[in-house]
Amino acid sequence: MKFHKKKSLVFKTLNVLPSSLGYYLYHIIQKRSFKNISKNIIANKNSRSVIKHILNSVNFNLTNKSIIEIGSGWLPLMPYLLKAEELCKTIYTYDLNSHYNLENITRLNHYFKTEENISFKKRQSDKYNLPEFIEYYPNTNIIDTDLPKDISLVYSRFVLEHVKPSDILKMHQKFYSEISNDTYVLHLISPSDHRAYSDSSLSYYDFLKYSKKEWNSIQTKFDYHNRLRLPQYLSVFENAGFDVVYLNYDKTDASSDKYKKFKAIDLHEDYTGFSEEEILAGSINILLKKKKNN
């Protein structure tokens, strides 16, 4: 059985268990992927460079500014990097789930102390051992919570592709009404079929051959992907009242193996109305600001 099928089978099995047991087992499996901090830190440092490049392009720096992170994930790697390198003030981080745990964060603190020579001031008797500059809100959908005031940047890394399109719209409508005109919203989006990351037999666009119904019978709440293409994201941001200040995405060389695998796919009719560039747009990095005359 191919690796992505085995993985899907594991998620499907967890999905039919009572939710608390399913999540408990899912956590045990996922926790292992975050044992290798140095591997995860390399990937986050790459994203950090992308964020820095984008913010530099609009002459914006984060020193002493407060930030919202959508989708905390398993480890506060990006918040640690932003604090260490940009000296930002507070980072408020929200997650639908509760993935942080004491063991991994204690290991992360040790890693920063020994490998990066950085010790952050600790929060008093915090159950996760988090530093003072991080305010963690687990089990919180950012759509349903009051946002803190005085926020200069809202960002997400590899989150939006896992959010229902209707929630992406609600989220940005909320940002539109609650953040200041000067606040930037930055997203790093990975619109590819994530199963291809661990199974090279699959195209990064494989999931575009399925109808909505077929795809919903393959994915579960543990590996949900909305499959939105670039113009669909742009239209949601526009509808919520945002201008695109910066946009960059990967293009695919027609001589590459990636392109050949894409061409071998029989796209579902839901995707045939897009141009090839719109379909193939990968690693979408986008900076938004509220429209001036709205």
**Binds ligand SAM by CB under 6 A, chosen from 51, 91, 130, 142:** 142
In whole angstroms, the minimum distance from the beta carbon of 27 to ligand SAM comes to: 11
Among residues 22 and 71, whose Cβ is nearest to ligand SAM? Answer: 71
Q: Examine residue 158 and tell whether it contacts ligand SAM (CB under 6 A).
A: yes
**Binds ligand SAM by CB under 6 A, chosen from 83, 157, 195, 227:** 157
Q: Examine residue 14 and tell whether it contacts ligand SAM (CB under 6 A).
A: no
Q: Examine residue 71 and tell whether it contacts ligand SAM (CB under 6 A).
A: yes
User: Are 97 and 138 contacting, i.e. CB atoms less than 8 angstroms apart?
Assistant: yes
Q: Examine residue 189 and tell whether it contacts ligand SAM (CB under 6 A).
A: no
In whole angstroms, the minimum distance from the beta carbon of 96 to ligand SAM comes to: 4
Q: Examine residue 155 and tell whether it contacts ligand SAM (CB under 6 A).
A: no
Q: Examine residue 73 and tell whether it contacts ligand SAM (CB under 6 A).
A: yes
- Is the CA virtual torsion 91, 96, 98, 99 positive or negative? negative
Q: Examine residue 131 and tell whether it contacts ligand SAM (CB under 6 A).
A: no
**Binds ligand SAM by CB under 6 A, chosen from 70, 105, 280, 284:** 70
Residues 237-256, interacting with ligand SAM (CB under 6 A): none
Binding piece for ligand SAM, criterion CB under 6 A, among 104-112, 154-162, 176-184, 207-215: 154-162
Q: Examine residue 173 and tell whether it contacts ligand SAM (CB under 6 A).
A: no
In whole angstroms, the minimum distance from the beta carbon of 71 to ligand SAM comes to: 3
Query: How many residues touch ligand SAM (CB under 6 A)?
Result: 17
Q: Tell me the CA distances in angstroms from 244 to 45, 184, 194, 288, 291, one per residue in order.
A: 24, 10, 26, 5, 9
Q: Examine residue 97 and tell whether it contacts ligand SAM (CB under 6 A).
A: yes
Q: Examine residue 37 and tell whether it contacts ligand SAM (CB under 6 A).
A: no
Residues that bind ligand SAM (CB under 6 A): 70-71, 73, 94-97, 99, 141-143, 157-159, 162-163, 167
